[in-house]
Amino acid sequence: MGESRIRFRHLQAFLEVARQGSVARAADFLHVSAPAVTKTLRELEEALGIAVVERDGRGIRVTRLGEIFLGHAGTAVTALKRGVDSVRQDGAINRHPIRIGALPTVSARVMPLAMSLFLSENTGAAIKIVTGENAVLLEQLRVGALDLVVGRLAAPENMTGFFFEHLYSEQVLFVVRAGHPLLEPGQDVFARLDEFPVLMPTRESVIRPFVDRLFITNGMTAPATEIETVSDSFGRSFMRQSNAVWIISAGVVANEIASGAFVALPVNTEETKGPVGLTMRTDTAPSPALTILLQTIREAASHHA
């Protein structure tokens, strides 16, 4: 039978090519040659009797049937890794690193307290936290490279195979540094917005459609000087040394607003309000350590509900 010919290396190569969109990048990550990855993919396709990838310009994309197999492959690899880790553990609840994708909106506001609470449980579990655009984190979750994504609810078409647990809701703010000209009395923010650089969420971000609709509602298409960024560290630094306006989720700049370093402009952004919570795969049960971490994240989030 074909499935008896499928080995861990076949699944690992397929998952990495799907994640990277490139045989060469997947080979670099796996520390093997590109021809070796190509050969492994061919062996997998022969065993399955279908093509799982196809060329897409200079890159590689997963075929429609490959997408179906992708979720099962990710589940299998994750289960195998957990099985190996469970027999290697030495007094810890789970030695398998808990891999979290945290959007910027929770990285500064929720995750620090959640981590402090989790560490006080003395589980011995290792933690890995990465950040990035929502679409990238969800793809890593889909292929088993992440165990959990914490942040805004994604668009319905991107939630296939996932479930979402709502923690709290937040909205987007127009933020400037203290002493900004737009903070002077009687200012029409949208009328003067083209006078300043505007830091915008990227077009792939969850909040961008809400921001675009807000501009249309207020008679604008886009700012004259627009800088797209997902880097909160760049945003904070640039704000302090310029007259930029930062359009960003409230959670990202909550600490700066509380300290008085940044100020939210008087713009009605109620229509940008959306749910923030936990996104996980429907086909994977949380480990004991992850279950504890989920509880600490819920507790930390309750302070901001």
d(CA 133, CA 139): 10
Q: Decide: pTM greater than 0.75.
A: no
The dotted CATH code for 8-88 is: 1.10.10.10
- Binned at pLDDT 50, 70 and 90, residue 158 comes out as confident
What mean pLDDT do residues 73-82 have?
81
Quick check: 188 pLDDT over 70? yes
- Which residue matches tokens 């590689």? 60
- Residue 200's pLDDT is what? 94
The dotted CATH code for 172-272 is: 3.40.190.290
- Helices within 89-150 (DSSP H only): 104-107, 111-119, 134-142
The dotted CATH code for 98-169+275-303 is: 3.40.190.10
Q: Give per-residue pLDDT as tens, 218-233.
A: 888 888 899 999 888 9
Q: Give per-residue pLDDT as tens, 16-57.
A: 999 888 999 988 988 999 999 999 999 999 999 999 999 887
Q: Look at the chain and count its residues.
A: 305
Q: Helix, strand or coil for residue 158?
A: helix
Q: Give per-residue pLDDT as tens, 239-298.
A: 999 999 999 999 899 889 999 999 999 999 998 898 999 999 998 888 888 999 999 999
Quick check: 90 pLDDT over 60? no
- Residue 4's pLDDT is what? 65
The two domains 8-88 and 172-272 share their CATH topology (first three levels equal): no
Written as one string, the DSSP assignment of 163-193 is EEEEEEEE-EEEEEETT-GGGSTT--HHHHG
Per domain, the residue ranges of the chain are: 8-88, 98-169+275-303, 172-272
Q: How many other CB atoms are found less than 10 A from the CB of residue 219?
A: 8
Q: Give per-residue pLDDT as tens, 118-142.
A: 999 888 888 999 988 888 899 899 8
The amino acid that residue 144 corresponds to is G
Q: 263 pairs with which residues across the strands?
A: 176
